[in-house]
Amino acid sequence: MLRQFKIQHRLIGTFLVVSILPILFLGYYSYQLYSESINDKLSKSTFQALSLVNKNLLAELQNYQFLCGSISTNEFVQENLSKGLKQEPINEKAKEDAMDAIFRTIFPSHVINVSIFDAEHRLFYELGFETVDNHSLVQAMRDVDANAPYDGLTYVKTMRSYDTVVLGRKIHAMEDSTVPIGYAFIFISGDLFSKNILSSVNLGTGSKMMIMGRDGTVLSANDEETPLGGPYLDPELIRQIKDHQQQDIHSFSLQVNGAEQQVSYIYNEQIGWYLISLLPFSYINSETSKITVSMTIIMILMVICCIIIISFMSSSIVKPIKKIISFCNQISTGNFSSRIKDDKEDEMAILSYKINMMVDEIEHLMQNQKLDQKRKRELELQMLQSQINPHFLFNTLNTLRWLAIINHVPVLSNGISSLSELLRSTILDRDEQITIRQELENLSNYFEIQKIRYADSFQVEYDLDEKLLDCLIPKLILQPVAENAIIHGLSEHSKAIEIRISVQQQEELICIEITDNGKGFDTSAVQETDRTSNKKLSGIGITNVDERIKLYYGESYGLFITSIIGEGTCCRIIIPVQKTP
């Protein structure tokens, strides 16, 4: 595919790729490394900031927990809540005095209401600064029950629409801590968390901090646009936080509200809240964008330098190539008078020198071509003469056959006819493979010729599977085996022998057997004689037959001979079935 472009263009492209790719790789690697380093450091610093904020929150919340604890352990509250279970009347003045005594001890500045309920959810005491609806109170009680034995936090909105976080605690009897006798609720102004604590920490441009309950309810946030008292705008946030909490991962990246954010969180198990920070990656990557601009400028400058260098380099390569092309165009028109002049020492100069040598050789070859033309005409005449000889031989044999017929000598006529056909199949037929039918016809002609020599010393029988006669086999593999049967089968006492030829199929193989009941022989001695002697009609021995079969089909096939002296010989040829196309 590259050869479709000119060398000059390939050189420019190669230099640009080789120069730009490392820059891009290093730039990308540096960018990723720098970004990961910034993310890691910001993740750690954010988590440290969250830890400090969390400590401040817990420290501030301890005042309210202390107030809640003072109410829960107050003797008057304990005694009257226990009486409330027995439906006994309560001394209101004594209740007010007891509560005033508690509030004089501790009353944090952001408390907007205090409520106490008995175990049956009936109001025991309420400070009355701000009130909430019954639905919010029921939800707060549920949260306290769910977080027991720890305190519970619930977001509520007062009747005058103030954002409030309710700290609730279940009150147990002092005599038996397993018996719940009521609830104590401290209503804390939402400004304590959102403005006094969360807003005092700025993690970066676009960052957010919020307090979220374990169920995903937003209790407080430093962003006024974040709705409180319900699930966060992106429900995937709390799900991902809980998934990472199981893996003990406190910082991770997440697509929140359509923007990639770095999320960090701290979970307070006793209070049941998550302190969460969201830091946008646009702020994190603001520094890396400056590096990207600088690297882009550097890369452009390096590309310009590379183009200038490439122009000089390509000129030193392309100009000699164009000179060679121009010279080759002259050679193609038959002009051999000029030569390439290049006295430099680089590869192009060596190529020019070699081309000049090739042109010299071409001139020399053209001079010899005229002599070769004359020699070619002489060889063509000799080829015509060699073609005349076989035709002359077959015409002569045909003439002798007709003379034998005219003189009523059928034996001679049949012998000449068989010899003619046998020679025609071996001399004129150039096919390497023929059908079994054709090979048997050649074998029949061979038997006719041998009967002239040996008279009636042998008889031939055939046992053929007609379905296999059109299968292909190598030419001239049966005649040497049959010749071996005649030569080694006839005895000195002129006893006639029977030669049986069988062609049968055994599974996926063809088995051709040539057996005789002659005198038999020592197979090892005959094979050694066969390798060293060519005194055969065809000049092909049985060893050659075996080697040819193995070359055609593989080592598992071939010619297998068994002979018993005095009983006869069996030659078995095993080849695969090969149908004609």
For the stretch 164-176, pLDDT in tens is: 999 999 999 888 8
Exposed, middle or buried by CB within 10 Å (0-12, 13-18, 19+), for 130? middle
Complete DSSP assignment for 485-513: HHHHH--TT---EEEEEEEEEETTEEEEE
d(CA 29, CA 214): 40
Structure confidence at residue 394 (pLDDT): 57
Q: Which residue has the higher pLDDT, 299 or 435?
A: 435
Report residue 574 CA to chain centroid gap: 46
Residue 371, pLDDT above cutoff 50: yes
Given the DSSP bridges, would you call strands 497-506 and 458-464 parallel, antiparallel or unpaired? parallel
Handedness of CA 527, 529, 533, 535 (dihedral sign): negative
190 touches 112 (CB < 8 A): no
| Contact partners, residue 25, CB within 8 Å, separation at least 6 | none
Partnered with residue 503 across adjacent β-strands are 464, 512
Residue 335, pLDDT above cutoff 80: no
d(CA 197, CA 53): 7
Amino acid at 434: I
Q: Smallest Cα–Cα separation from 573: which of 379, 440, 376?
A: 440
The per-residue pLDDT for range 223-251, each reduced to its tens digit, is: 888 888 888 888 888 899 999 989 988 88
210 touches 238 (CB < 8 A): no
User: In Å, how far are 377, 378, 379 from 384, measured between CA atoms?
Assistant: 11, 10, 9
d(CA 249, CA 272): 18
Q: Which pair of structure tokens corresponds to residue 84?
A: 């409330």
Structure confidence at residue 493 (pLDDT): 59
Residue whose tokens read 């005449």:
381
The per-residue pLDDT for range 461-482, each reduced to its tens digit, is: 999 999 999 999 988 888 888 8
Structure confidence at residue 537 (pLDDT): 41
